[in-house]
Structure 1
Amino acid sequence: MKKMKARSFVVVLLVTLVMLVLSACNSSDVASSSEKAKEENEGLPENYPNKSIDALVGFAPGGGQDIIMRTTAQILNDAEIIKQSFVVTNKTGAGGRIASEELARQNSDPYKLIVIPEYGPGWDPRLSLKFSDFQPIASLATSELFIYVHKDSPYETIEELLSSLKSEKDVTIGTLGPIDGGEAFKWDLIKQGAGIDKLNFVPMEGASEGLTAVLGGQIDTTLGVLPLINDYIKTGEVRVLAVLSEERSKDLPDVPTLKESGVEVAFHRYTGIWTGGDVSAKVVNYWAENLEEMTETDTWKTFLKNRGLSPYYLNTEEYTKLIEEEGIEFKKYLEDLEK
């Protein structure tokens, strides 16, 4: 009787072990199938791209971001790197936020791209937009930023302007976007570096509006890129006081850097292409590779030279790291505004 019970126990144990092995195999198969399905879902859509690409611009037609996006689309098509057409749409307002919000609402759409200056949206803790709503793909170009004034301005040098900013509260500064925008953030860094107590900002809808305000005497100074102000430099209508880069500009070698005045602040305005945060990694990589190929064309290099821009291709990893580093600093600035 005891032998029969022992044999029964052994049989039950063997059956149990077999069931556990089969279960493990099935679980492995399920996991494998799940991973495979996920991999397939994260792949390129069939025959991608098989329809027009929606290219968003958060700023007005004719501005720097608009021209970069339209030129990028044109070269991609003309060089037959991308054979599908692009539909460039300007969604202006709130310093580019309107266009960013549209992308965030459709952040899994692989047919939506957006051109973004610098660290972009998603850093303001007061807004619903999060950086995770987006995916940077690649940076394309960068431009030097200059502090300039009207030809009849009393400020002949950057030192004179900084001295006046320290002592007078009525010096007006035009900023691209509101006080919680990226340009005001740059001026705040200058304020800290120069030991200035307070700045008087006048928000502008675009850099071209800032130029018009300087020429018309509505504001004392603002920041500008060379493509915007170069013609006015040549005619003597504006005076450039400083460049906000580590070294003097090759195009304007007589203009000192801000650092030469003792203010340890330097930055530049880079531009890149983003997509939605839920778009697959393979789609992001597809665009990064094709954009890199575009930046190597002679047409793109000529465009940059003619526009006073500099090559600045960063792949997805490098570009995202740069954005996160600067975005965190911008977020701190916004948090300080609320205090």
Structure 2
Amino acid sequence: MASRKGRSLLAVLAIVALAGCGTAAGEGPDAPGSQIRYIVPFSSGGGTDTAARETARTLTEAGIARGDIYVENLPGAGGLVGIQTLTRQGDDNTLMQWVDVLAPLYREGAPVGLDDLRPVAQLATSPMVVVTGADSRLRTFRDLLDGMAAGEVTFGLSSTLQSKEPSKWKEVAEARGIDPAGLNFVPSEGVSQVIPDVVSERIDVALVVPTLARSYLNKGELRALAITADERLGSLPDVPTLREQGVSTSYYRAQGVIMSADASDQAVDYWAEALREVSRSEEWEQYAEKNGLLVQYKGPEEYAEWLRTEGATFGRYLRERD
């Protein structure tokens, strides 16, 4: 395993002893190797990091796979640091948590592309919550649309201007006949910066995954204006969808797992089946319900096709923007 100097090894999931019966811990088949490196290309504490840690925990505690799983955060450059580490060092025992379609693959002159990676499985999708500060002048989604039309709203981004969030705000604007050229985006280094900026009203509005939004909503520090799902979430039943407010679009961020292009077919098959079992487990179902995720498994081919399709659309947006 490569040196971790300068990196933060933020979680170690210990090997599960052989014991019990049925689906008890330790009865799953051995992983291709006993040491499994699980990379998260973002800082700890966000939705992608949380999903990776829950996946790793379920793999071991539900007895789906045996081995030491080390969850390692490698943030930087919108995910590029982690992605390049995977492409350089990845093997049959290196996994990476993947969310949605990551911009570093689709920028002009990108050093890596989807062909350098092997999609393994999608585990779930997550809609986003449109949030504003509790004392914001934007009391309703109609207020937000009016502010967008007047060019008076600042949109916080959890990444750069070349991320997918601006493309979704562009869709919202165009759906209501608003010129997207007037949208004012404020990029950041992550959602840990965006939420405090919205709470303090340094920015007006942002898209946040339900698991992170809920605690701030419960404390009365944020107000939810809409959910980007096709239907209301059971965990946020009072938050209307975009469609209920006249915007015919939706936005889901898929959570999945990828490997390096150097991974063998046998390893991809192994981890795809292991992750299928994770998606069917009671542990994952409870996690998804609690965190506003929709369980939706896709195997290697289906997940790869989704990434190609979404990536092509996002790539066109980046080219048009440039």
Give the structure with higher Rg (CA).
Answer: 1
Q: Is the partner of 1:218 in helix, strand or coil? A: coil
- Percent identity reads 35
**Larger relative helix fraction:** 1
In structure 1, how many angstroms separate the alpha carbons of the residues matched to 2:281 and 2:35?
23
TM-score by length of 1: 0.81
- For residues 101-134 of structure 1, the C-alpha deviation after alignment (integer angstroms, 9 at most, x for no partner) is 1112235x21211001112352223312111011
Distance in 2 (CA, whole Å) between partners of 1:258 and 1:298 is 31
Q: Which runs of 4+ in 1 moved over 4 A?
A: none
Deviation, structure 1 residue 58: 0.9
Partner of 1:188: 170
Q: Any residues of structure 2 matched to 1:34-45 within 5 Å, and which?
A: none
Give the distance between the partners of 1:293 and 1:267, measured in 2 at CA. 26
The C-alpha deviation readout for 1:174-227, integer Å capped at 9, x for no partner, is 011100012222222223223332211111222232111111121000001211
**CA–CA distance in structure 2, aligned partners of residues 186 and 94 of structure 1:** 21
Distance 1:217 1:128 in 2: 37
Following superposition, the deviation at residue 246 of structure 1 comes to 1.4
Amino acid at match of 1:179: L
CA contact (8 A) 1:101 1:129 kept: yes
Partner of 1:325: 309
| Superposed CA RMSD | 1.7
Q: 1:183 to 1:92 in 2, by over 3 A?
A: same
Q: 1:243-289 CA deviation, whole Å, 9 max, x = no partner?
A: 11212222333322212332221111220000012322221111100
1:124 corresponds in structure 2 to: 107
2:99·2:254 contact (CA, 8 Å) conserved in 1? yes
Report the counterpart of residue 171 of structure 1 in structure 2.
Answer: 153
For 1:126 and 1:186, how far apart are their aligned partners in 2? 23
Q: Structure 2 regions of 5+ residues with no counterpart?
A: 1-29
Corresponding residue for residue 89 of structure 2:
106
Note if contact 1:125-1:331 (Cα within 8 Å) is conserved in structure 2. Answer: no
| Contact 2:235 2:289 survives alignment (8 Å) | no
The 8 Å contact of residues 75 and 294 in structure 1, kept in 2 or not, is answered as: yes
Paired with 1:311 and 1:85, the residues of 2 have a C-alpha distance of 25
Any conservation in 1 of the 2:233–2:292 contact (CA below 8 Å)?
A: no
| Bigger strand share | 2
Contact 2:119 2:258 in 1 (8 A): yes
Contact 1:148 1:240 in 2 (8 A): yes
Question: How far apart are 1:48 and its partner, in Å?
Answer: 5.3
